[in-house]
Structure 1
């Protein structure tokens, strides 16, 4: 037999089992034939011309609210995060060693673009929560000139290097040692070496970054690199 999947939209509102019993004129029972408590919370559901009631936990595990575009954005982000995590785990597994070079390259490229997509969704949600539409750190706005300058400083080879790290580990400054023979990337602690160079370069080339604390310049440099590695 084959596996199939379906997605349906329903109309629903919160309602206790007792309220549903009163409206429908009969007593709700669970799968074991036992009566639901009158005060048990749940949802009254309309779907395909029929109505039913589901306990709150069961309903919220099966359905997600899609009333607004923000609701749909959260769902899109959550579903993509699951796919990105599964693909990254596969690429970092021993099973990946048996994948052909061509497929391996394509899967890493796929992971990179999926991660970029995920970063954009996370960025949008963060800005919505903050009530702003662009990244701000201590009132310093990240402008396109910052991103362009960082791209020029890094060059295409280093940009591709950071894209590889982003796809492999989900971040551009992971503190780890990469295996050169297995992954084709020079082995050294990424966070300490590249991160320090970039932060020092930023302080020299952008006076507005000079007085930032170490913690803030680290966050700022990571955000800049994340934006820089997205293809124009």
Structure 2
């Protein structure tokens, strides 16, 4: 696959960081890198070539850190982030995860290592996060209405 064709076929995804990725079999990735497929590996395994442009360049063809992940592992780590709807959905999911963790912590009661002022701020933070979460949910509903 040419550099230009590969670059055009890549889509933005979000995980721990934003990456560009395209579907590619294990064999295609090994061919791309100029490597021999290791014995015992299935070249037909479907996965994704990933370019993390924030990472250290490790190929001549692309500008970021390039690696390959099997499809299942990739989909556990990354979600599409191409459209505004994708990005709001991702933001809401990440916020909900943080809010859930904070609520679980608050439900246990104030621990001795947190003073009253900090505890009060954590409760304010929870309320603000609830409001923020509701705004994101409302935006997602508005996206549905626009279709």
Structure having the larger proportion of residues in helix: 1
TM-score bucket of the superposed structures, by smaller chain: 0.5 to 0.7
1:141-160 matches, cutoff 5 A: none
Corresponding residue for 2:122?
A: 107
Q: What SS does the corresponding residue of 1:10 show, helix, strand or coil?
A: strand
Corresponding residue for 1:182?
A: none
Match of 1:118 among 125, 128, 133: 133
Match of 2:88 among 69, 73, 76: 73
Report the TM-score when normalising by structure 1.
0.45
Mapped to 2, the partners of 1:26 and 1:104 lie a distance apart of 55
Mapped to 2, the partners of 1:130 and 1:87 lie a distance apart of 32
Match of 2:67 among 49, 52, 56: 52
Match of 1:11 among 16, 20, 24: 20
Mapped to 2, the partners of 1:17 and 1:97 lie a distance apart of 50
Mapped to 2, the partners of 1:130 and 1:83 lie a distance apart of 28
Mapped to 2, the partners of 1:46 and 1:116 lie a distance apart of 35
Mapped to 2, the partners of 1:23 and 1:103 lie a distance apart of 53
Q: What SS does the corresponding residue of 2:22 show, helix, strand or coil?
A: strand
Report the TM-score when normalising by structure 2.
0.67
Match of 1:38 among 27, 39, 43: 43
Cα distance, 1:75 vs structure 2: 1.6
Q: What SS does the corresponding residue of 1:38 show, helix, strand or coil?
A: coil
* Residues 89 and 8 of structure 1: CA distance in aligned 2, closer, same or farther (over 3 Å): closer
Structure having the larger proportion of residues in strand: 2
Deviation string, structure 1 residues 135-154 (Cα, Å, up to 9, x no partner): xxxxxxxxxxxxxxxxxxxx
Q: What SS does the corresponding residue of 2:128 show, helix, strand or coil?
A: helix
Q: What SS does the corresponding residue of 1:70 show, helix, strand or coil?
A: helix
CA RMSD of aligned residues (A): 2.4
Contact 1:27 1:35 in 2 (8 A): no
Q: What SS does the corresponding residue of 2:67 show, helix, strand or coil?
A: strand
The structure having more radius of gyration, on CA atoms, is: 1
* Residues 46 and 105 of structure 1: CA distance in aligned 2, closer, same or farther (over 3 Å): closer
**Which protein has greater RCO, CA pairs closer than 8 Å, 6+ apart?**
2
Structure 1, unaligned stretches of length 5 or more?
A: 1-6, 133-232
Q: What SS does the corresponding residue of 2:87 show, helix, strand or coil?
A: helix
